[in-house]
Structure 1
C-alpha cells in the first residue's frame, strides 16, 4: 500500500508497520471473543441484536486485525466484513476466514458511500488516532452509517500518550493516545451520535488504564 500523503501519514505508517511486524504473534496471543470477559461478550451480543432489530445491514469491523471478532459477528448473524491498515493482518484474516471479506484500508477514509452500513464495530482500534483527529474519525463513522445504524466502540481510556516500544515480542513504533471515557462520549455526540449504553471496566493486570465500551446510534 502506498504510504498516505495526508498529515496523518506519520502515525498511520507507524501503526501499519508495527502491526505488520507483530501480526503472527498477535493472532496467536490475543484471545478470541469466546475467551473475553462476560461483559465484553455481552456488549458484542447486544450490538448484534440491535443491528438485527434495526433492519440489519452490512457491518464493518474497523481495525479488524486477524478477523477473530469479524468472524464472531458473522456467527451472530451479521453480514460483517473487516478493514485494517495492516496488510499482514488482512492476509491472516483472509487465510483464517476465507468465507468473509477483508480489505486493507484506513478507518478515517473509508471507501464506502454515504449511509452504506447498518453497523460499525471499532473494537480497541481507535486509540492509535491522535486526539485532534478523533472528531474527523467519528464524523467518517457517522457518514457511512445509515440513519439509526449502530456503533459499538470499545477501547482503552486514560489521559496522555503511551509509546510501548515493544509488543507481542517485537519492537513497535506506534503511539497510543488515551483519552477519558467522558471525552469519547462528548466527541461521539459532536459527530452526531447518541450514546445509549456505557460500560466502564477496570482490569487488575493494567491498573494504569481504564476500559470502556460505548453503544451508540446515528
Structure 2
C-alpha cells in the first residue's frame, strides 16, 4: 500500500512538472510588461512581445495599447491559411468612425517606424508589422500568422509570438484570397491590454 502510494505521488509530481514546462504554462516565465492580451469574441490571446528584436516597434505598440487605441479595431484583412491583419486605429475602430473601405490604409497619430528586420522566422502565431512598399512605413497595423510564411522572413518586422489562445485566432472571421482578404462585417479586437496593467 505504501509503495503504491509513493509511486502514485511520484507520478503526480512528474505530471505536474511536465505541465509547468509546456508552452501553455507561459505565465510561469512570462514578462507581464511585454505580454499583450487581446480579447476576441471567443477568448483571450496572449502575445509575447519581442523588444529584443524590435524595440521601437514594441514601444509604439505598447503606447497604442495603453492609450486604448486598439480597442474595437477590426480585423479588416483576413486570408485563410495565411494571416489576420488588424491595427488600423485611424479607420478601423468599429465604435468610432469605422470606414470599411479605408480600413487598412490608415495608421495612428504616432510617426512611422524605421524597419527593424531580423532573422526571426515567420511561423504559425508570429506577429509581424504591416507596412506599405516603403520598408520604413510600419505604424500601428500588425498581423498574426495562421501558418508558416518563410517568404516574409527578413521583409517585415517581427514584434511577437502568440503564446496562448491561438485557437481563438483561428476562429477570426475570414475574407477570401480573391478579394485580398477583405472582410465584410469583420471581427474585432474587443479589448487590448498589457498584462502588467491588468488588475
Whether these two folds match at TM > 0.5 is no
Larger Rg: 2
TM-score (normalised: structure 1): 0.24
Q: Which has the higher strand share?
A: 1
